[in-house]
Structure formats: structure tokens, C-alpha cells
Amino acid sequence: MTDRPEKIRCDACPVLCFIAEGRSGACDRYANQQGDLIRLDPLTVIENGGPAVPFIGADWDGDIVQGHRPFVTAIGAGTTYPDYKPAPFIVSAETHGVDMVTVVTEGIFSYCGVKVKIDTDRYIGEERAIVRVDGEPVGHVMTSEYGSKMLSLGGVDHLTGGSKKEGRITCDALLALCNCEPVQMEIEGGAVVTVQAGKAPVIDGEHEKLMRVGCGSAAIGMFAAQWRSHADEVIVVDDHITGVLSEHQAGVLLDIPPSGIRVSGRRSTPGRYFQVAEPGTGWGGTNIEDPLNVIKTINPKVAWPGLRLFMISTTGEQWAYFELDNNLEPQQAEPSEALRLSAERVAENCEPSVCSVLFMGGAGGSLRAGVTENPVQLTRSVRETLTKVTVGGADTYLWPGGGITVMADVTKMPSNAFGYVPTPALVAPIEFTMSRDDYVALGGYVDEIRNVADVLDGKERRVGVKAAE
């Protein structure tokens, strides 16, 4: 009778899985191969990039992923858990006569999330509304930005502060978003939205096409001169600021006479109206399907029969032309070719609607301890711009203030850059690059430095600099 091989314990994360021969752990990243713990996804190297570049010098443009040397990312590197040991790879290389070191590790991030930018005019939900995936709360709607809706998803409260199901679903959603996969989410009191980094959003089953050219007032300013000879009044319908050409300062300076047409809502400044309708998925992000519904009154002492009225949304996707009859009632009419072209011009000036996903996380004490025995020295080195931080080879935005809190565009990273552990937490790559002298000065693990040639054993995955697709 042959004894069954014993399970081995994986210490790559706090779950500490016991893994049987030929099986993988809960994260599907580590496996038992004949009693040895192996990594299933290989170390990822970006071709035509170099971790070794001088940070001082007129010929350096600030991009550490450059040149002809491979850049060893932290994707597939492994973690420092249980955090008493150095980073898995501390790699040295020389460029332009400067000996540089890149410290490569995968961090286990419970304190992490994503910021999502959705290019759309359409109403998706109120600010602060809860965002749910599979019925579980995973984040909330943030303040809108110009032409875009914003979501904040994830964070430690959702990952670990709620039920096990909430944490698991939050982790799954974050992992999919960071790996550029689609995630369908429902916003309380709002829309069902499918988000995928680099792709157009899908809102209530409709694929968004265009990001608005501007608010109604901005559109008036941009196109007033083109409308001047072809319409007596133009109303640009917008959820936030609806523009009225004849009242707007642009119309006044172009000598466009008052039309007597007053729109609903609260007048802000001449030609600019707030709250002309409720938010929705109709014209200009309002609930308006018939644009004439935004008209409050037509003054018979000012308006005249035959007045030419052009109405358009902020993306140019909806537009209509009317002329006032003898009773001063708007009647749909055939527009001039110039007005048709102007609608196309508005749409032409709208950028394609896409979703942007930024990973956001902080390098905690344990992760920094994999770089140096005195973790605060790494923070100071980053603050002094002696150390460059990247995530999967992608540039990061470093937040001011304490700690090392970064954001990075997930589309700038190679595919499948992120993993997870079922604690639950994301596993994200992070790299720290500096000169060897600076690494020594911050108390780094000098004895663990390996030459880049020794790291590249042919088993690594090689991708191009623009391998995010």
C-alpha cells in the first residue's frame, strides 16, 4: 500500500492553505507539485523597458520603463508574507553608468479599492448612492466630474467590515475590474451599469457612445457663431446647465435679438439655467424625451411667427428644429443643411465614451519591510523622489501626505496583473526603483540583490510595453 503524499502548507498569505499533491490553493496562484510549492503564474517581464535609469540627468524623461533592457515587474513575483523576509526579487542592472536597484514584490492589499470614471451624460444615480454587485454593497457614487460620473469601489470596510459574502463579492469585483474584465453593478435608485476598463459603459442595456462636448452654456459659447445665421434661438438641453443662445453673453455680443422663449428651471446668469428637468437618460442627461417640454413660456410681445428654433443635446445625438406658427406654437420643420452640419460638428467634438479604472492602494509597513529593515526610510526616499514607485510597470500618482498611497491606470499594465487571497484582499504588483547607493543608504537588503541576468531564466512571461490590451 502506497502512502498518500502529505499536504504542504502555503505561507504566501494569511490563509495558510494546506495543498494536496497536484492541487492549487484557494487563490489558484500556488500549487503543490510533488511536494514543492510552486507559483502557477510566471514572473512578468516588460520588454524594451529598463529598471535601471538615472533619476538625475538631462537625458532622462522620468519613465523608468524605457530603453532596451527588460523591466522586471512584480507580477508573478510572490509576496513577502509573513513579512519578516525581504522582497522576492531585488534586481540590479546598470544603465548610463548608474547601478540601479528595483525591488519587486506583490502586496496583499486589504486597504485598497478602485476609482471608476464613467464618461456619460446619463443619470446613473444620486451622489452617495450605494453601488451593489450581486446584491452586495461594494462602494458608492462620488461627485460627478465634467462629462463623467465617478464611483468609489472597494476599501477595507467592504472587504472586511461587512459579511463574508460582501467581502468576497467586493474582492471578486475589484479583481475583475483591475484585470480589465467587465463587471455589472446596480446603483440604488439608479441604473444598471456594466463597467470595463478601456471600454464604453453599458447603462440600462444601452452602449454609451459619446462624452458630452460641454455643458449647455459651454456649447453655446463654442458654437454660437455657427448658429447665428441659421437659427433665431438655440436651446442646448443639459441636466446641469441648459444654455439659451439669445440670452447668453455669446448671443448678446453676436447681436442676436431676444426670442421671448423662456425655459423652465432656475436662472443662474443670463442664458444659463439650472434644474430644467429631473435627471434621467433622455436629452442631455435629463428625463426629457420631448425637448419642447423644457420651454416654460413664449412671450407674444417678443416672439414672432416664423421664428427659427433649434434644440440640441450636449452630445449632438439628439436635435430638433422648429418654427413658430401664427399662434406662436413650435412646429417641427425641415432644418437647413447648415444646422444639420452643426449637429454633426457638436458630435464630432465629443470624445468616445469610455470607462477608466484606477487601482488605489497604500504600501503598508509590512510591504515596506520587504524593501528595508527601517520601513520609514523607504517612505522618505519616495517623498524625496529618490525612489520611483510603479504598479505592474505602470506609472503611479503618489498622493501627498503621509505614507505611500498610489493610484495607477489598470489599462497600462500587462494582462492579469492582479490576483487575490481569500482573506479577502487583492494581490497587486508594486515595484520600487532607485540607485544602488540610495538603496544602501535606506538600509536595504544588500545581500539579496541579484543581477537582472540571473533573474531572467527563460521561464518568465515577456510582454510588450503596451500589452494592456
Query: Which stretches of the chain score pLDDT less than 70?
Result: 1-5, 48-69, 95-96, 464-469
3-state secondary structure of 283: helix
Q: How far apart, in whole angstroms, are the C-alpha atoms of residue 220 and residue 215?
A: 9
CB of 255 closer than 8 Å to CB of 262: no
User: Which residues share a beta bridge with 154?
Assistant: 113
pLDDT at 3: 54
Contacts of residue 191, Cβ cutoff 8 Å, sequence gap at least 6: 122, 123, 124, 125, 203, 204, 281
CB of 311 closer than 8 Å to CB of 302: no
Q: How far apart, in whole angstroms, are the C-alpha atoms of residue 468 and residue 449?
A: 29
CB of 162 closer than 8 Å to CB of 223: no
Which residue in 122, 109, 295 sits closest to 209, CA to CA?
122
User: Which residues share a beta bridge with 71?
Assistant: 46
pLDDT at 181: 98
pLDDT at 317: 92
Which residue in 130, 306, 316, 92 sits closest to 223, CA to CA?
316
Nine-digit cell string for 305: 411667427
Q: How far apart, in whole angstroms, are the C-alpha atoms of residue 16 and residue 14?
A: 5
pLDDT at 67: 45
Nine-digit cell string for 455: 533573474
Q: How far apart, in whole angstroms, are the C-alpha atoms of residue 112 and residue 360?
A: 6
Using alpha carbons, list the distances in angstroms from residue 343 to 75, 346, 354: 47, 5, 22
3-state secondary structure of 39: strand
pLDDT at 58: 35
3-state secondary structure of 453: helix
DSSP string for 145-202: BTTEEEEEEE-HHHHHSS-HHHHHHHHHHHHHHHTT--EEEEETTS-EEEE-BTS--E
| pTM score | 0.86
Q: Is 7 exposed, middle or buried (0-12, 13-18, 19+ CB in 10 A)?
A: middle
pLDDT at 148: 94
pLDDT at 256: 97
Nine-digit cell string for 141: 457614487
pLDDT at 455: 84
86 φ, ψ (degrees, to nearest 5): -65, 165
